[in-house]
């Protein structure tokens, strides 16, 4: 007997205080404010996004903390700059004198011509917990992954405080808190029998969508596509990538075979966000390939996580999938989170005259199978 998917919107649970705290800290960081990041070992630091650094802001940070600010960069960015080996996920860079906004900008932004060569040193050894958590917080804010931080022992009751452990635990906790909050029938050009289900985490943060075509049978492996949102490709028809072709092609294929699910994940630019993706495009125009451009910015080759996708599938009663993908990392990512991938179904589209190098890089360096 066929058991179709039953997708019933559920009320969101009361969010854990840790999720709400991180969400508030992200908002504060995005608007250029200061936050206090507290580590479990009792140490703490005042932090601000490197993107927001001005000379006035740096002076305010130093006065409030009572210590000399430093810059926390990802290990990748520090290695690109030649300031440290990529030994740790985060490198702490100090200056012989007070940091200037110009120094901070050159450290954080590869699109800024040149970099400060004199008076910068990388701290030896593993970075303090508050530095690691602050860079993670900046990534959650989808900003350039660099922060200005200053150790502090003050109370700072006028500033927002967030736990380093809560920041680092946010991605899995947010994914586990996902709930179905809305559903509607939405006929599509290539799949008239389709509906869209919205999923949202308990803190009200970034949500994801599922496009369900037909009536998938959850007792058999469901043909499934994980698609990371791409504003430029999906909405504008950009020729720099193959995302639009993959999105529309997947929906058409689900309709052709009769049923399936496409998860539309809010992970623009392999998880670095739209603004940083545009920065990466600018770097690609200067000769970097798509992976090297991410590294120049300080990101990993691919910052996406697939726990949210696994949670969405579980909430829809799907435990086995036939995965429509060329990316083995997606197969591994779902399997790691308890979803069985019984088959990888190729999903290939021809190049268009603008994305040959992009597709070549995905194959030769990204491990995609074509």
pLDDT tens column, 327-364: 999 999 999 999 999 999 988 777 777 766 765 666 66
Residues of the chain with CATH 3.40.50.10990: 177-267+304-364
**Pairing relation of β-strands 160-163 and 35-38?**
parallel
158 catalytic? Reply is no
Residues of the chain with CATH 3.90.870.10: 17-171
Task: Using the predicted structure, report yes or no on whether residue 233 has a pLDDT greater than 70.
Answer: yes
Task: Using the predicted structure, report yes or no on whether residue 6 has a pLDDT greater than 60.
Answer: no
pLDDT digits (tens, 9 = 90+) for 244-264: 999 999 999 999 999 999 999
Mean pLDDT confidence for 270-276: 96
Q: Count CA atoms within 13 Å of residue 365 on its CB side.
A: 12
For residues 165-204, b (16+ Cβ closer than 10 Å) or e, as one string?
Answer: ebbbbbbebbbebbbbbeeeeeebeebeebbbbbbbbbbe
- CATH code: domain 177-267+304-364 is 3.40.50.10990
- Element housing 46 (H / E): strand 44-49
**In the CATH hierarchy, which top-level class contains the domain 17-171?**
alpha beta
Which member of 302, 314, 319, 344 is catalytic?
A: 302
304 catalytic? Reply is yes
Reported confidence tier of residue 119, pLDDT bands at 50, 70, 90? confident
Q: Does 11 or 106 have the greater pLDDT score?
A: 106
Which member of 3, 304, 319, 322 is catalytic?
A: 304
Q: What is the mean pLDDT of the chain?
A: 91
């Amino acid at each position: 007997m066929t058991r179709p998917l039953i997708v019933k919107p559920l009320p969101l649970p009361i969010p854990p205080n840790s999720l709400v705290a991180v969400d508030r800290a992200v908002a504060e960081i995005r608007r250029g404010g200061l936050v206090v990041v507290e580590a479990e070992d009792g140490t703490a630091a005042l932090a601000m996004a490197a993107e927001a650094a001005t000379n006035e802001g740096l002076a305010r940070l130093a006065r409030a903390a009572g210590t000399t600010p430093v810059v926390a960069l990802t290990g990748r960015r520090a290695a690109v700059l030649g300031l440290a080996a990529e030994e740790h996920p985060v490198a702490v860079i100090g200056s012989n004198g007070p940091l200037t906004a110009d120094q901070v900008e050159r450290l954080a932004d590869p699109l800024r011509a040149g970099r400060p060569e004199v008076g910068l040193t990388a701290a030896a050894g593993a970075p303090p917990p508050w530095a690691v958590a602050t860079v993670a917080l900046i990534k959650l804010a989808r900003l350039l992954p660099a922060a200005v931080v200053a150790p502090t022992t003050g109370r700072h009751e006028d500033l927002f405080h967030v736990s380093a452990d809560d920041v680092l635990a946010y991605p899995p906790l947010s994914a586990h808190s996902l709930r179905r909050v809305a559903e509607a029938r939405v006929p599509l050009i290539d799949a008239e029998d389709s509906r869209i289900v919205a999923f949202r985490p308990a803190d009200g943060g970034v949500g994801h969508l599922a496009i369900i075509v037909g009536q998938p049978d959850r007792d058999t492996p469901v043909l499934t596509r994980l698609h990371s949102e791409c504003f430029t490709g999906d909405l504008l028809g950009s020729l720099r990538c193959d995302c639009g072709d993959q999105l529309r092609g997947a929906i058409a294929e689900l309709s052709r075979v009769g049923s399936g699910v496409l998860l539309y994940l809010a992970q623009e630019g392999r998880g670095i966000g739209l603004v940083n993706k545009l920065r990466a495009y600018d770097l690609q125009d200067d000769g970097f390939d798509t992976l090297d451009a991410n590294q120049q910015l300080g990101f990993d080759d691919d910052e996406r996580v697939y726990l949210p996708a696994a949670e969405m599938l579980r909430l829809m009663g799907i435990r086995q999938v036939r995965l429509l993908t060329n990316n083995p990392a997606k197969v591994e990512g779902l399997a790691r989170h308890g979803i069985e991938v019984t088959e990888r179904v190729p999903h290939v589209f021809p190049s268009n005259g603008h994305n040959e190098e992009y597709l070549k890089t995905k194959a030769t360096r990204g491990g995609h199978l074509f």
